[in-house]
Amino acid sequence: MALKISQAREIPAFLAMQVMKRANEMQAQGVDLVHLEIGQPSTPPPAAVLTALAASLPQTASHGYSVGMGLPDLRQRVSVHYQDWYHRPVDWQRIAITPGSSLGFAIAFISAFDKGDRIAIATPGYPAYLNLMLALGITPQLLPARAEQNWMPDLDALVASGDIPDGLLLASPANPTGVVMRDDELEAVCRWCDKHGVRLIMDEIYHGLTFGARTQTALAYTNSAIIINSFSKYFCMTGWRLGWMVLPEDLVPTAEILAQNMYISAATINQLGAIAAFDCYDELDQHIPRYQENRDLLCRGLPAEFLGNYAPSDGAFYLYADVSAFTDDSIAFADRILAETGVAITPGVDFDGTEGRTHLRLSYAGATGDIKRAVQRLNDWLAIQQR
């Protein structure tokens, strides 16, 4: 007799992770791969973080649980980071350390929303937002943020439609477009949410990775938003699985209970290492010109018809290319590119179920040498296609 399987079986796969799985298998079989599918810096965490981790290894307490919200020393250090970067005082008791920001989203969704509630998200957008909402019985409300909308969702149109959601989740810099909201735009979003009673979740995990001025946090404009951040991107610590949230006061007790029940605590030893990360801005800032150089190598090196009307990419490390000149099946197209060139790229349908069919996302988080190899291989391959 067939045993019960939940509706979760219907949840779409996270395609970037699927492509990475396939690419890693090919690599294990000896294929010379270039990874443009995943948003993962090729550089290690700062030296002081590795030193702090090594110093923690012999201490017994490093190998035990921390409290659910995370080590107070790390939470206090995150609070100082808000003062240093944004000139905002943040009570450290509102800060929760999570296993990657990924679990932060789960805490945010479950603590602030009930089954059937609606959260608006920008399309194209990070796939796990939508997929996790579906898993939790929350209804995603898709707001177009495509080239025609200047890559920003139009909140006035939402008011005009009379369809005000319970929550709004936005990212800046955004994935997959790299679009960065100006501070006045962010302020307007925060005011809009407060005016309409919409709980804002602001994904700030690409903060620090902007090619212009540093952006403000939503905390500057509202106390009711949930802020999500991570050690994965700017801090180059993807595999450490560490993130943080700044919670509004009213959600702190629920978030703490959820953390205790869902994962007990984030990895204690990694938290001990992460405290040192906030002393390393100078070292980490040195990666930014490389990301910018990588972006420019892709933009200048790939043919215009392959990039199409791509988003500005003023931050994060992604190019969202319009490949409609070549395909309306981005999954098959990315598969062929992987098989025939060894360049792994994420199909746009991961981020946008409709227009993503004609888009690809290229990550330029890696080494510049890899970006150059990818450009060469893609150009050689495109030349063969056009013959």
Ligand X SMILES: Cc1ncc(COP(=O)(O)O)c(C=O)c1O
Interacting residue ranges for ligand X, rule: CB under 6 A: 39, 100-102, 126, 171, 175, 203, 205, 230, 232, 238, 243
Minimum Å gap between C-beta 206 and ligand X is 7
Sign of the CA dihedral with 167 first, then 172, 175, and 178 last: positive
With respect to ligand X, which residue has the nearer C-beta, 235 or 310? 235
Minimum Å gap between C-beta 340 and ligand X is 26
With respect to ligand X, which residue has the nearer C-beta, 291 or 326? 291
With respect to ligand X, which residue has the nearer C-beta, 215 or 327? 215
**Selection from 187, 198, 24 nearest residue 121 by Cα:** 198
Give the tokens for residue 281. 């801005």
Q: How many helices (H) and strands (E) does the chain have?
A: 14, 12
With respect to ligand X, which residue has the nearer C-beta, 101 or 111? 101
Minimum Å gap between C-beta 326 and ligand X is 25
**Selection from 372, 366, 370, 382 nearest residue 41 by Cα:** 366
Q: In this structure, what DSSP letter does residue 2 have? A: P
Minimum Å gap between C-beta 42 and ligand X is 15
Minimum Å gap between C-beta 14 and ligand X is 10
Minimum Å gap between C-beta 68 and ligand X is 18
Q: Which residue is nearest to ligand X (CB)?
A: 100
With respect to ligand X, which residue has the nearer C-beta, 317 or 333? 317
* 88-100: b (≥16 Cβ within 10 Å) or e: eebebebbbbbbb
With respect to ligand X, which residue has the nearer C-beta, 111 or 230? 230
Half-sphere exposure at residue 271, Cβ-oriented, CA atoms within 13 angstroms: 28
Minimum Å gap between C-beta 101 and ligand X is 3
Number of Cβ atoms within 10 Å of the Cβ of 162: 6
**C-beta of residue 145 within 8 angstroms of C-beta of residue 151:** yes
Reduced to 3 states, what is the DSSP secondary structure of residue 187? helix
Q: In this structure, what DSSP letter does residue 333 have? A: H
With respect to ligand X, which residue has the nearer C-beta, 100 or 144? 100
With respect to ligand X, which residue has the nearer C-beta, 130 or 341? 130
Minimum Å gap between C-beta 240 and ligand X is 9
Phi, psi of 357 (to 5 degrees): -65, -20
d(CA 44, CA 51): 12
**C-beta of residue 227 within 8 angstroms of C-beta of residue 245:** yes
Minimum Å gap between C-beta 202 and ligand X is 11
d(CA 270, CA 280): 16
With respect to ligand X, which residue has the nearer C-beta, 18 or 102? 102
- CA 49, 266, 208, 182: dihedral to nearest 10 degrees? -170
Minimum Å gap between C-beta 175 and ligand X is 4
Task: Give 43-48 contacts, CB < 8 A, sequence gap 24+.
Answer: 43/236, 43/287, 44/236, 45/235, 45/236, 45/237, 45/240, 45/273, 45/277, 46/235, 46/236, 46/276, 46/277, 46/280, 46/283, 46/284, 47/280, 47/283, 48/276, 48/277, 48/279, 48/280, 48/283
With respect to ligand X, which residue has the nearer C-beta, 206 or 306? 206
